[in-house]
Amino acid sequence: MSPSDQVILTMTGISKAFPGVKALENVDFDLRRGEIHALMGENGAGKSTLIKVLTGVEHPDSGVITLDGQAVQVRSPQHAQELGISTVYQEINLCPNLTVAENILIGREPRRTGRIDWKAMNQRARQMLLRLDVDIDVQQTLGSYSVAIQQMAAIVRALEISSAKLLILDEPTSSLDAHETAKLFQVLRQLKNEGMAIVFITHFIDQVYEVSDRITVLRNGKLVGSYQTNALPPLELIGSMLGRIMVDLDDVSRAKLQRERRSDAQPLLQAHGLGSAGAIAPFDLELHTGEVVGLAGLLGSGRTELASLLFGIDKPDQGALTFAGQPVRKFSPLASILRGVALSPEDRKAAGIVDELSVRENIVLAMQASRGWLKFLSRARQAEIADRYIKLLNIVTPSADQPIKNLSGGNQQKVILARWLATDPQVLILDEPTRGIDVGAKAEIQKLVVSLADEGKACVFISSELEEVLRCSDRVVVLRDQAKVTELSGAAMNADTIMQTIAGS
């Protein structure tokens, strides 16, 4: 039996639930020695949770993990390292002010008569890097080297601290240029030939086909399938990630069909050649009252970057933006709120809810910011606003004073929407508003998007799920590789056309 046929890891029937959402549901995954296995899926697919279960950060509700033929319960990240499982994360968590050698061997420095043997440490670190064909001065600080070299040092450290037999790389090429990526892939192939089992997480489709042997795809916490890379065309991979099953007419679809599109001659929001170097290429976009414009594309395609420019989180370095016919000169979230533009962010945990505040306090947050803290909303007025939107959006909570952290993911998402609706925006930008929430809550939010457009508001709707972009949107803008590729409407707005455009075919 060849090394590539030897299974080193099996994860069987892995399930993990958090309040309001099933992050993983009966997922199977296996890994062989001497292979590079790409783990694919959009945001909310379950990739991160599966890796957290494997590395002991989270404990599964059910399922079995077998490593080298033995059932194991991974108790913690430290225990995972002891088992030979090492992870290199997207954000390199080393110390740039220390030398390369110190970073690689910190905590494991060779000693002589009770003191660190610096000569031996530098020699050992250099030999470890030479194994990966990296020849550098290990006595220089890590921060003086490129991100690619720092990535190599992180890999070497990961291999050293656990005598790793299984290496997990989480978005390792996100900050690398083409030459640096090629060098990393050379290292990965070398490790693969030495029998290392590698899990490769990325959103770059072309890189998956360049370096991986097999692909496992997750969507909405469930296993879509595992495939030999050379037997899965890119278009089918994208289809499996986004979900290509078109839904029948339901309440949301009927509401959209019954709505008369309001396309005023004068667009409400208009971007012309708007762009930001390194984030998104210059793009044109018009948004009219009473319509929903969907943004479709894979993770990393530029959807969130486009939204950040429109809302003023990031400042453009080229192009122009007008709102209600007037040029926008001040780019900031507060200026956008005052203009009548709102953004529900992609990551509700990090950039949406304020964990320690109540539902009421979270709902009035943006309204209070727009008034200024000297014009404080009274407790009675806050309660009135909160109760109105709790009822309007059917937010399930014992009271408006319940800490928001105790609510389900779907209800937390509704609170964020309530926060922005309370400011009575003319333009509402929704970045992944249904990610990680249950089916019932998704349907309610989709209906809300359509009804907001029916009331005359303009919406930008971003989702990794292609079917809901099509269900809710009047037009779809397709992005790829941080650039707008095309804009579709009418009969051209269908799943096949969008996926072919994303795939570049």
Q: What is the DSSP letter of 376?
A: P
In a domain? residue 409: no
**pLDDT tens per residue across span 215-234:** 999 988 899 999 999 999 88
Q: What is the DSSP letter of 449?
A: H
**pLDDT tens per residue across span 66-122:** 999 999 999 998 899 889 998 887 666 778 889 989 888 877 788 888 888 899 999
In a domain? residue 373: no
> What number is the average pLDDT over the span 374-393?
86
Asked whether the beta carbons of 426 and 289 are under 8 A apart, the reply is yes
Rg from Cα positions in the chain: 25
183: CATH: 3.40.50.300
Residues 253 and 229 in one domain: no
Asked whether the beta carbons of 449 and 293 are under 8 A apart, the reply is no
Residue 242's pLDDT band, with cuts at 50, 70 and 90, is confident
Residue after which a domain boundary falls, among 190, 225, 242: 242
Asked whether the beta carbons of 415 and 435 are under 8 A apart, the reply is no
pLDDT of residue 323: 94
Q: Cα 194–198–203 angle (5° rounding)?
A: 140
**In 3-state terms, what secondary structure has residue 117?**
coil
Mean pLDDT across the chain: 84
Residue 348's pLDDT band, with cuts at 50, 70 and 90, is low
Asked if residue 194 has pLDDT above 80, the reply is yes
pLDDT of residue 9: 96
pLDDT of residue 245: 40
Asked if residue 333 has pLDDT above 50, the reply is yes
pLDDT of residue 212: 96
Phi then psi for residue 388, to 5 deg, are -60, -45
Higher pLDDT, 44 or 503: 503
Contacts of 14 (CB under 8 A, 6+ apart): 24, 26, 27, 28, 29, 50, 53, 60, 62, 63, 65
Asked if residue 23 has pLDDT above 80, the reply is yes
Amino acid at 324: A
pLDDT of residue 265: 54
**In 3-state terms, what secondary structure has residue 385?**
helix
Contacts of 494 (CB under 8 A, 6+ apart): 246, 470
Q: Structure tokens of 473?
A: 């949107």
Asked whether the beta carbons of 218 and 40 are under 8 A apart, the reply is yes
Asked if residue 252 has pLDDT above 60, the reply is no
> What number is the average pLDDT over the span 129-145?
86
Residues 11 and 70 in one domain: yes
Amino acid at 338: L
pLDDT of residue 248: 36
In a domain? residue 388: no
Residues 18 and 95 in one domain: yes
Residues 203 and 321 in one domain: no
Backbone angle region of 111, left / alpha / beta, with phi > 0 → left and psi within -120 to 50 → alpha: beta
Out of 23-32, 94-103, 440-449, which region has the weakest mean confidence (pLDDT)?
A: 440-449
pLDDT of residue 292: 92
Residues 238 and 315 in one domain: no
Domain span at residue 497?
247-340+428-505
Residue 246's pLDDT band, with cuts at 50, 70 and 90, is very low
Q: pTM for the full model?
A: 0.60
> What number is the average pLDDT over the span 465-478?
88
Q: What is the DSSP letter of 141?
A: B
Residue 4's pLDDT band, with cuts at 50, 70 and 90, is very low
Out of 117-126, 346-355, 402-411, 487-496, which region has the weakest mean confidence (pLDDT)?
A: 346-355
For 76-106, give the secondary structure using H, E and C.
Answer: CHHHHHHHCEEEECCCCCCCCCCEHHHHHHC
Residues 12 and 35 in one domain: yes
Query: Domain count of the chain?
Result: 2
